[in-house]
């Protein structure tokens, strides 16, 4: 069911957005060569405890997950692009890391993701990350009251296709509110003017993610991490956005 939020409720969601942005900033700053993914998860867990927030991931067990996630942040490295389950791995020079984090503060959820290169970057990785960021900006700009969900999808796809990337549509954006994942689904490819109307009060996570040379993925044997079918790298950018009478409001802006 799609729920619309009042202006007062959107204001109540701001602390969750600020907290999620802050946790991503702190974990990204801690992601150096030699740092273990479990250390990043422990940092995020400590920040949750200190804030009195609640993890959206630790007990999360949807149909596509092999078991409850058990960690509080997604850490996807190189050919992993979504749902990266933190494990005993030390970051190496040149790794492409995506951090995806969602938490609940005072009963309201925010969700966001960033990709970065640890240490020495490859030009191909920087281009891929930049494309997801520009696609996110385009998607947010298209999230105007009176528009349609397809406007967001088409704007994201236009940026990806201009750079020669193909698009997987199995996973995409989604509604956000009292829970992390709700309706409507927002594909990263679609036709403008189609889909659910963008009404003031709609709060969604917009999340373009692309792989360097494929749009096919498979699930790692950990039962969670989604990897590219050909071993190419992936990047992912995401913000929680409220549709208002004045246009899109990014709740997870740094």
Structure confidence by residue, pLDDT tens digits, 84-101 = 999 999 999 999 999 999
Helix axes 123-142, 149-162, angle to 10 degrees: 160
Considering its fold, how many domains does the chain have in total? 1
Short-list 29, 26, 28, CA closest to 47: 26
Q: Structural domain of residue 206, as residue ranges?
A: 7-250
Judge whether 99 and 28 are in contact, CB under 8 Å: yes
pLDDT of residue 180: 95
* 228-to-47, 198, 216 alpha-carbon distances in Å: 31, 32, 6
Query: Does the model's pTM come out above 0.85?
Result: yes
Q: Does 106 count as an annotated binding residue? A: no
3-state DSSP helix/strand/coil % of the chain, to nearest 5: 30, 25, 45
pLDDT of residue 156: 98
Q: Does 181 count as an annotated binding residue? A: yes
Q: Is residue 96 part of a domain?
A: yes
Question: What CATH number is associated with residue 49?
Answer: 3.90.230.10
pLDDT of residue 66: 87
Q: Does 174 count as an annotated binding residue? A: yes
Q: Does 22 count as an annotated binding residue? A: no
Residues of the chain scoring pLDDT < 70? none
Terminus-to-terminus CA distance in the chain, angstroms?
A: 30
pLDDT of residue 194: 97
Q: Does 100 count as an annotated binding residue? A: yes
pLDDT of residue 63: 86
What are the backbone angles phi and psi of residue 60, rounded to the nearest 5°? -70, 125
Angle at 184 between CA 198 and CA 197, to 5 degrees: 20
Q: Does 238 count as an annotated binding residue? A: yes
pLDDT of residue 64: 85
Q: Does 45 count as an annotated binding residue? A: no
Q: Is residue 1 part of a domain?
A: no
Q: Is residue 187 part of a domain?
A: yes
pLDDT of residue 51: 97
């Amino acid at each position: 069911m799609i729920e619309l939020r009042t202006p007062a409720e959107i204001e109540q969601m701001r602390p969750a957005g600020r907290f999620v942005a802050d946790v991503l900033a702190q974990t990204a700053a801690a992601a150096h060569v030699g740092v273990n993914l479990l250390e990043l998860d422990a940092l995020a867990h400590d920040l949750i405890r200190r804030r009195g927030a609640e993890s959206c991931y630790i007990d999360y067990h949807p149909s596509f997950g092999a078991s409850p996630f058990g960690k509080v942040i997604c850490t996807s490295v190189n050919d992993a692009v979504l749902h990266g389950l933190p494990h005993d791995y030390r970051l190496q020079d040149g790794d492409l890391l995506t951090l995806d984090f969602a938490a609940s503060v005072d009963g309201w959820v925010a969700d966001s993701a960033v990709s970065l290169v640890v240490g020495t970057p490859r030009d191909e990785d920087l281009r891929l990350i930049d494309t997801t960021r520009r696609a996110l900006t385009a998607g947010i700009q298209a999230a105007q009251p009176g528009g349609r969900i397809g406007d967001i999808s088409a704007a994201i796809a236009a940026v990806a296709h201009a750079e020669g990337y193909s698009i997987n549509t199995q996973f995409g954006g989604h509604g956000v509110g009292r829970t992390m994942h709700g309706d409507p689904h927002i594909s990263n490819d679609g036709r403008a003017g189609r889909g659910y109307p963008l009404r003031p009060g709609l709060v969604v996570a917009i999340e373009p993610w692309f792989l360097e040379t494929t749009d096919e993925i498979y699930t790692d044997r950990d039962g969670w991490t989604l990897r590219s079918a050909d071993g190419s790298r992936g990047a992912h950018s995401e913000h929680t956005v409220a549709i208002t009478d004045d246009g899109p409001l990014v709740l997870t802006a740094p």
